[in-house]
């Protein structure tokens, strides 16, 4: 009698999540098949879902005939610089908040809290004007520089991590003659690898996929990152839409690979962002 | 060591907030210095039909999107919150849309909603109904965008709920079972009250972000990244952020765009206040 409701729950759960997983994956599968078609197959009516044969050369041609590699390189630069900046600046600021004493520490931390509440919408235009005066329009700088200035989400994440480290480590380090900076770099950073990984992956995902900032700041084609680069192709590739599908899916591959290897940190980051 | 944050705060937050407030009372095209015009931008805004339409669309989008995604994500999280075979596969399946950019989603969603050869119309025709224009249909464009947004974001929200569910003690369910509660009763009387804190947080955060939604509509209703082409058909998917962008970055009316930004900010502020007030009423706190 006691086992029955549990078993029924499992069966219902399987049905629900299988159905939902199908909805999640069907569009990707259909799109992947679309990317392997000729234009004639792509627009065929009645719909030809699975092309025969697969035109893998669509992917080769996207690589060869468009600026895809250039867009990919730009995305790579922006993402790597952003990740480095976020790791260094967030952990440094978080360490100060978690472990050091300095004037106005509490009011400053309330300010960090407050900045999380300000909707980005009111800052977009003045930020654009600041970058304009810096002569940074149509460069990649505005896309990564803010990550070097400690974004609040990362500061929170790292502060929580540092707070959970017992005081004894710090005292032992002090006895051994470590300065606060050395303690931070040699002892605290290595102990917080999981949180650093979470921050890396989240910054990676945000920057790799970002559209708003590149759409505002970039105007010349050779500076475009992947999302807006692929988006901008559609005008010139009219009548060859299957290539666009291939290009879009190709831009997903790097982050997909990263995701498969770091899935558990993704999940950790998502759940901690709900608690911020 | 906090200097990165100090620079961030002073230059990019405090300064920008003041500047943006000042711009909203000015005429500013970025070529000439901003010129103080008092309330003129706000006056114009009140009489601007496209502004009202985009405000309405924003509200409509949010009201459709937030509850749908929250409820579905909660159901999925409850289903996944047990030891099932293939758990990792299911989690990954729901996370692939989360890690995709909107450009990827544009072409992936096109496989379904393309009016000529998409899966949705193919199924409709096979079932004997009329094919639809989906994103090109004034009445359908927002529901379709919402459906795609739910599809893309649900995995993320599901994981937040899963974290909340993991804090619900198992013995409460057992106690409910002893009293003869079925699956639905347990969900209603144990799960829902105990994760009301998480639910509240999710609702506040997703309302705020949905009100500022931009990328999806810019990508999915536009044409190769041309901002003036997005928001169609006939402004049926014009939302506040998109309108702000068009006014500011396409037509260089930075003052007017800043006024839109501050109206949006005020609305968000009021919504958050209301939500915080309501929190006391229906969020269950353990005594």
With beta carbons less than 8 A apart as the criterion, state whether A91 and A158 touch: yes
- The rounded distance, in Å, linking the Cα atoms of B204 and B263 is 18
For the stretch B8-65, pLDDT in tens is: 778 778 888 888 898 999 888 888 888 898 888 999 999 999 999 999 999 999 999 9
Q: Which of A25, A38, A95, A124 to mutate to test the interface with B (most CBs of B within 10 A)?
A: A124
Same domain, A39 and A121: no
- Chain B: closest CA distance from residue A240 (Å): 13
Please list every residue in chain B whose beta carbon sits closer than 8 Å to the beta carbon of residue A251: 101, 103-104
pLDDT at A1: 43
Greatest extent of chain B over all pairs of C-alpha atoms, in Å: 75
pLDDT at A222: 92
Q: Domain of B265: which CATH number?
A: 1.10.3720.10
- The rounded distance, in Å, linking the Cα atoms of B135 and B106 is 11
Same domain, A16 and A74: no
pLDDT at A164: 87
For A137, which DSSP code?
A: T
Q: Which residue of A47, A117, A126 is in closest CB contact with B122?
A: A47
Q: Which residue of A42, A93, A211 is in closest CB contact with B101?
A: A211
Partner-chain contact A127 B257, CB within 8 Å: no
Residue of B nearest to A122 (CA): B261
3-state secondary structure of B36: strand
Rg of the Cα atoms in chain A:
24
Range of the domain at A8: 3-57
Same domain, A78 and A11: no
- The rounded distance, in Å, linking the Cα atoms of B247 and B229 is 13
Partner-chain contact A149 B5, CB within 8 Å: yes
Please list every residue in chain A whose beta carbon sits closer than 8 Å to the beta carbon of residue B110: 31, 245
Query: CB of A140 within 8 Å of any CB in chain B?
Result: no
pLDDT at A35: 93
What share of residues in chain A are helix, strand, coil (percent, to 5)? 75, 0, 25
Residue of A nearest to B105 (CA): A248
- Chain A: closest CA distance from residue B111 (Å): 5
Q: Which residue of A12, A211, A263 is in closest CB contact with B102?
A: A211
- The rounded distance, in Å, linking the Cα atoms of B52 and B235 is 11
Q: Domain of A182: which CATH number?
A: 1.10.3720.10
With beta carbons less than 8 A apart as the criterion, state whether A5 and B177 touch: yes
The β-bridge partners of A218 are none
Same domain, A45 and A71: no
Same domain, A108 and A233: yes
Range of the domain at B154: 3-282
Query: CB of A169 within 8 Å of any CB in chain B?
Result: no
Domain assignment present for residue B252? The answer is: yes
Q: Say yes or no to pLDDT of B284 above 70.
A: no
Please list every residue in chain A whose beta carbon sits closer than 8 Å to the beta carbon of residue B245: 216
Domain assignment present for residue B30? The answer is: yes
Total domain count, chain A:
2
Same domain, A146 and A30: no
Q: Which residue of A31, A43, A89 is in closest CB contact with B4?
A: A89
Q: In the predicted model, what is the mean pLDDT of chain B?
A: 88
Q: Return the half-sphere exposure (C-beta side, CA atoms, 13 A cut-off) of residue A197.
A: 15
Rg of the Cα atoms in chain B:
23
Same domain, A82 and A12: no
Total domain count, chain B:
1
pTM of the model: 0.91
Tell me the percentage of chain B whose pLDDT exceeds 70: 98
Greater model confidence, B153 or A152: B153
- The region of weakest confidence among A105-119, B137-151, B246-260 is A105-119
pLDDT at A3: 52
- The rounded distance, in Å, linking the Cα atoms of B35 and B247 is 17
Partner-chain contact B100 A252, CB within 8 Å: yes
Domain assignment present for residue B287? The answer is: no
Q: Which residue of A27, A42, A180 is in closest CB contact with B109?
A: A27
- Chain A: closest CA distance from residue B138 (Å): 23
Phi, psi at residue B113, to the nearest 5°?
Answer: -105, 10
Same domain, A85 and A192: yes
Residue that finishes a domain, picked among A40, A57, A74 = A57
Domain assignment present for residue B276? The answer is: yes
Query: CB of A260 within 8 Å of any CB in chain B?
Result: yes
- The rounded distance, in Å, linking the Cα atoms of A79 and A98 is 27
- The region of weakest confidence among A5-19, B132-146, B228-242 is A5-19
Strands (E), chain B: 26-27, 35-36
Partner-chain contact A245 B110, CB within 8 Å: yes
Q: ipTM of this model?
A: 0.90
With beta carbons less than 8 A apart as the criterion, state whether A270 and B160 touch: yes
Domain assignment present for residue B277? The answer is: yes
Residue that finishes a domain, picked among A11, A32, A57 = A57
At residue B243 the predicted structure's pLDDT band, cuts being 50, 70 and 90, is very high
pLDDT one digit per residue (tens) for chain A, 276 residues: 445 667 888 888 899 999 999 999 999 999 999 999 988 888 887 888 888 888 899 999 999 888 999 999 999 999 999 999 999 999 999 999 988 888 888 888 888 877 777 778 888 889 999 999 899 999 999 999 999 988 888 888 899 889 888 888 888 888 888 888 888 898 889 999 888 998 998 899 999 999 999 999 999 999 999 999 999 988 788 788 899 999 999 999 999 999 888 887 777 777 666 543
- Chain A: closest CA distance from residue B103 (Å): 6
Same domain, A23 and A113: no
Q: Say yes or no to pLDDT of B287 above 60.
A: no
């Amino acid at each position: 009698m006691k086992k029955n409701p549990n078993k029924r729950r499992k069966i219902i759960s399987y049905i629900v999540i299988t159905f939902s997983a199908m909805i999640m994956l069907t569009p990707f599968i259909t799109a992947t098949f679309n990317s392997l078609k000729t234009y004639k197959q792509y627009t065929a009516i009645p719909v030809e879902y699975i092309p025969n044969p697969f035109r893998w050369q669509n992917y080769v041609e996207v690589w060869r005939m468009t600026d895809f590699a250039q867009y990919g390189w730009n995305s790579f630069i922006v993402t790597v610089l952003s990740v480095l900046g976020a790791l260094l600046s967030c952990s440094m600021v978080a360490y100060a908040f978690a472990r050091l004493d300095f004037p106005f520490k509490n009011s400053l931390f309330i300010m960090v809290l407050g900045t999380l509440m300000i909707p980005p919408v009111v800052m977009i235009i003045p930020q654009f004007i600041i970058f304009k005066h810096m002569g940074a329009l149509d460069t990649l700088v505005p896309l990564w520089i803010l990550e070097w200035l400690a974004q609040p989400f990362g500061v929170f994440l790292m502060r929580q991590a540092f707070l959970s480290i017992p005081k004894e480590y710090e005292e032992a380090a002090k006895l051994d003659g470590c300065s606060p900076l050395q303690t931070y770099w040699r002892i605290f950073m290595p102990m917080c690898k999981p949180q650093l990984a979470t921050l890396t992956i989240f910054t990676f995902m945000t920057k790799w996929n970002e559209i708003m900032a590149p759409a505002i700041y970039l105007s010349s084609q050779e500076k475009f990152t992947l999302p807006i680069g692929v988006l901008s192709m559609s005008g010139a590739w009219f009548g060859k839409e299957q290539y666009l599908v291939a290009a879009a899916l190709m831009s997903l591959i790097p982050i997909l690979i990263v995701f498969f290897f770091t899935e558990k940190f993704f999940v950790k980051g998502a759940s901690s962002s709900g608690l911020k | 060591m906090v200097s990165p944050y100090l620079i961030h705060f002073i230059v990019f937050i405090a300064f920008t907030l003041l500047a943006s407030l000042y711009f909203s009372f000015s005429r500013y095209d970025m070529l000439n210095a901003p010129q103080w015009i008092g309330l003129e931008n706000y006056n114009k805004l009140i009489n601007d039909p496209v502004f009202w339409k985009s405000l309405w669309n924003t509200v409509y989008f949010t009201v459709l999107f937030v509850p749908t995604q929250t409820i579905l994500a909660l159901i999925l999280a409850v289903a996944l919150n047990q030891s099932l075979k293939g758990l990792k596969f299911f989690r990954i399946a729901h996370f692939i849309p989360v890690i995709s950019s909107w450009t990827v989603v544009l072409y992936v969603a096109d496989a379904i909603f393309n009016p000529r050869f998409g899966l949705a119309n193919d199924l409709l025709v096979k079932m004997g109904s009329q094919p639809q224009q989906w994103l090109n249909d004034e009445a359908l464009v927002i529901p379709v965008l919402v459906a795609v947004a739910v599809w893309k974001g649900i995995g993320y929200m599901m994981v937040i709920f899963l974290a909340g569910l993991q804090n619900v003690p198992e013995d409460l369910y057992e106690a409910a079972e002893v009293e003869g509660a079925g699956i639905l009763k347990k969900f209603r009387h144990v799960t829902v009250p105990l994760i009301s804190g998480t639910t509240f947080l999710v609702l506040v955060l997703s309302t705020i972000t949905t009100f500022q939604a931009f990328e999806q509509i810019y990508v999915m209703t536009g044409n190769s990244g041309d901002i003036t082409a997005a928001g169609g058909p006939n402004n049926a998917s014009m939302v506040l952020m998109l309108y702000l962008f068009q006014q500011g970055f396409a037509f260089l009316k930075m003052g007017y765009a800043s006024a839109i930004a501050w109206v949006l900010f005020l609305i968000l502020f009021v919504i958050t206040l209301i939500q915080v007030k309501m929190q006391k009423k229906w969020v269950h706190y353990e005594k």
